[in-house]
Structure 1
């Protein structure tokens, strides 16, 4: 390819030589670190020399002494310039003054001038251009910075003030410290020496990231102890990201362009090792807490009272320990989803806790009742923790845990209510009897007095446990009261008797509700059940009874035909045909309602526990 005329046209415009005495010489510019001016001077000489060479002047006549130049001399001057530029670039991360900063800026722009000159020579044959073209100064500059970064990372000083157990940990920590310090230097001192489009902060960040990643990968390829495994994962997911998220650095680099510190084939085994260890640790510690509790129970120890309330230290220990490990796992792995893998240990623990809980219920030890009260506090605290922190658990684990807790809570409640019903069995028999009809107020007061003695033992329960347990007692007590009424030990054969019984039911309802809500029950919605049933006794018109029953079924969807039949049979003056007609109408209404179950309030389930034959 011949471009003789092209060369002449390209370079002759730079061929004029100024004789202005005030212009510094190349060596003066070099000494004064004016690298850009020095570079431009060499480019002018290069242009003139090679234009003259193309014209053949050098072979026809001797140039005057002041214009005499040679490729060798020019090449030597170029080497001197580039050596100064190289030294300045190597000092990029040691800048301490504005003068040094200006020198670096000069060196960078000299490199860019050389890059432009390389581009101008593109397309010319090798024999038509200088032997040093292309210089590829930009590539050399990048390679030089890469070596600079590698050297600084390798020579990162050990910080003896940091207390670590292994040389590997010390090595990683000192390199990370060097990385952060140098990136801050790049941001605050070096970046202003480069044109913005070169994005030198990103370039340096990539180099340091690569060097740090290489060290981590070198370590991760070996079998690590658990402590070092945690250290590596913390650097990958927590400590290193915190360096990049430092405000000054974060604003200047794009982290998305950086490769992962560790490839998946090295990261996955470390994560598995860490998770396995965490699962073992969590399981071990949770079961130590359970063993401690079971030992105390077997030894007959009573729980401590704090401010007249049974304290439940095992609940605090379990929840705090478990939560701390889940949070730690999330931090180490940098991923909430991965941290969920250890939460299955809560489910495993609760299964073992259920076995312990069952042993306590079956036992006859003197401290059984008190231990169950404390366990109830633990179960409710654990349930509330899981519901509040549902995001920590996979759906199946959360469901399993809540099911286990509900089952144990149910069995504890059943233990206490069963004892209550057993102790009150004789008094219950009087409800709905002739004695009750004559003196319902007296029967009710005796029931509540007996109930009061029973629930006094719960005074030392914490508020939430007591409220839930008393709510359960409230519901079951009222259900048993209604069940006894439905046994039809009396027949209300006329309107006057029915009015009397209805008034007694309303009075008793008010008394029962006031007593139990004052004691701590929060089941306020139960207060309307007995008055509504009493209202059925007052009604004499079958059609009015049908209408009221429809309203009652809407309020209590689990009110069955069997319940209705048993209750209406208290009305001795209701004919069999009227009863049959009412029940048939009720059955039709129930079918219609079953097609619109979304409209029914199943939260008010009550009659399902009123078991009648």
Structure 2
């Protein structure tokens, strides 16, 4: 036994029997809350008692009795010290002064001192240690703080000035407020009382996090109404992360080391319930907007004018409603991809809108044109919104939505362009005729004068919608002009006639382009169509004609063999053999041009709407 105990030599200290230093007693230190000094005194006594045992001095009964009495007193003193230290630690979050903070700091270091003393005894068997070793003060300290946090969270009171109907909302909110307030206390008051390596802020954060998490899990186990389901998700993905993002807290706490507030098997059904509710909410709101528009149309109401421009209220309402719900869902679920689950409601809404749109087009009500103008503005704004926010939509939903919008936009534009063609039908007949050849300027002016009167009805359209509608009309008007020229009502039998016709085409092109761009069209590239066709009439050399046709195909890749054939037949002095050779040569070049053409060139499709037999 003596051999084993010999390992404790580092504990042995030399003491003088008559040494009575002028220092406070243990009880005085304890009363003054000098816990470290008091603890050191106890450790010295503990070491002395162990040293007496080691030296074998306790062989006489009297010394044994004194020794036992000393151990008993020492154990009692340790209990008094630990009790007061733990009581101090229990008040860690109630500090209000620097003096109280200093007492807590001393209590913490006393715990760490006791932990060091426990470590010194670890190498010895239980029989060779004092009966109170190990004291496990640090472990008890951590357990005490855990109980402290739990009690404070349970006793947290709600601000009486805040009104909340749900008891769940009240319970979660008061705990969250307590959590935030106490973590800020830890950062401000408690943190400096612990050595940095103890990372006390992270320890407290974990305790509060686990307690708060336990409350949310308890709530999530029940079948919740939609409001409480939303509340839970809001705390998990918004409110609680906001607390951890407070600057003072964020600087000292690593939130990545905290477990999820709710496990996946609890979050998934909550998200599913929330998404189902959100889809219904979006669908209901969008349906109300559509019902409102349909009712107003049936009642013959005209769209509102604001600064002499039709105000497209449905575009504002639909986009704000939809985007607001998507953003809310994204924030609520903390994941953009999950928010895409509700974007299918836009697809469903547009399908319903298409039915309404078709009814308006077929109707003969006095407000039909005005309603279709506003509808066109709505369709364009929706298209631009989806295009700019494509990341919010699954690819399939985005494609379906844009397809629906394109179909409705084209139908609206067709409604207006077909009306334009009806009004200009009689004047179109003169284009490409001998009357046109004699006075193309007069024919063109007459056409444009009537066209200008027709497009005055679009003065109340907003700029963006006007650009798109008049751009389409510009293209349709010019296509009809070219189609009439290709009907071969005239034969330009010689060079002089061809040059004169080419010159008139160029002048007409300039007049048409000036008229429609002034009205609002942004189809600037259309100004090159007639001049390039005119150049084909002027040229006499077949090889030069081939080159010019290739240039035209670069501008308009949809120029077909039938168009080329129809236009070249205007040249009465071009032989059938030359026309065939030109067409064959150009056809070979067309494939190469299409391979090299970029997306912009392919978007400039003009001749595909020039319908010839």
Q: Which TM bucket (shorter chain)?
A: over 0.9
Structure 2 gap ranges (5+): none
Q: Does 1:229 align with 2:235?
A: no
Q: Match of 2:164, SS?
A: coil
What is the aligned partner in structure 2 of residue 265 from structure 1? 265
What pairs up with 1:192-591 in 2 under 5 angstroms?
192-591=192-591
Q: Match of 1:602, SS?
A: helix
**Per the alignment, do residues 529 and 361 of structure 1 end up closer, same or farther by CA in structure 2, a change over 3 Å counting?**
same
Distance in 1, Cα, partners of 2:326 & 2:580: 62
Is this contact kept in 1: 2:58–2:64, CA < 8 A? Answer: no
Give a deviation string over 1:289-343, Cα, whole Å, max 9, x none.
1111111111111112111111121221111111221122122222222112111
Cα deviation, residue 598, structure 1:
4.7
Aligned-residue CA RMSD (Å): 1.8
Q: Match of 1:490, SS?
A: coil
Q: Does 1:607 align with 2:600?
A: no
Cα deviation, residue 67, structure 1:
9.4
What is the aligned partner in structure 1 of residue 6 from structure 2? 6
Cα deviation, residue 63, structure 1:
5.8
Distance in 1, Cα, partners of 2:406 & 2:324: 24
Cα deviation, residue 585, structure 1:
1.1
Cα deviation, residue 19, structure 1:
2.5
Distance in 2, Cα, partners of 1:425 & 1:59: 132
Distance in 1, Cα, partners of 2:577 & 2:388: 55
Distance in 2, Cα, partners of 1:404 & 1:171: 48
Cα deviation, residue 25, structure 1:
1.2
Cα deviation, residue 582, structure 1:
1.2
Cα deviation, residue 166, structure 1:
2.0
What is the aligned partner in structure 1 of residue 158 from structure 2? 158
Is this contact kept in 2: 1:433–1:489, CA < 8 A? Answer: yes
TM-score, normalised by the number of residues in structure 2: 0.97
Flag as ranges the 4+ runs of structure 1 deviating above 4 A: 14-18, 61-69, 597-600
Cα deviation, residue 20, structure 1:
4.5
What is the aligned partner in structure 1 of residue 139 from structure 2? 139
What is the aligned partner in structure 2 of residue 28 from structure 1? 28
Give a deviation string over 1:156-210, Cα, whole Å, max 9, x none.
1132111100222111111111111110000000010000001000000000001
Distance in 2, Cα, partners of 1:9 & 1:182: 46
Which piece of structure 1 moves more, 6-15 or 266-275?
6-15
Cα deviation, residue 391, structure 1:
2.2
Structure 1 gap ranges (5+): none
Distance in 2, Cα, partners of 1:315 & 1:115: 70
Count, aligned residues: 613
Cα deviation, residue 593, structure 1:
2.6
Give a deviation string over 1:467-489, Cα, whole Å, max 9, x none.
11000000110011011111111
TM-score, normalised by the number of residues in structure 1: 0.97
Distance in 2, Cα, partners of 1:17 & 1:206: 50
Cα deviation, residue 594, structure 1:
3.8
Cα deviation, residue 597, structure 1:
4.3
Cα deviation, residue 591, structure 1:
3.1
Q: Match of 1:397, SS?
A: helix
Is this contact kept in 2: 1:236–1:262, CA < 8 A? Answer: yes
Q: Does 1:182 align with 2:182?
A: yes
Is this contact kept in 1: 2:275–2:341, CA < 8 A? Answer: yes
Which piece of structure 1 moves more, 324-333 or 525-534?
324-333
Cα deviation, residue 555, structure 1:
2.2
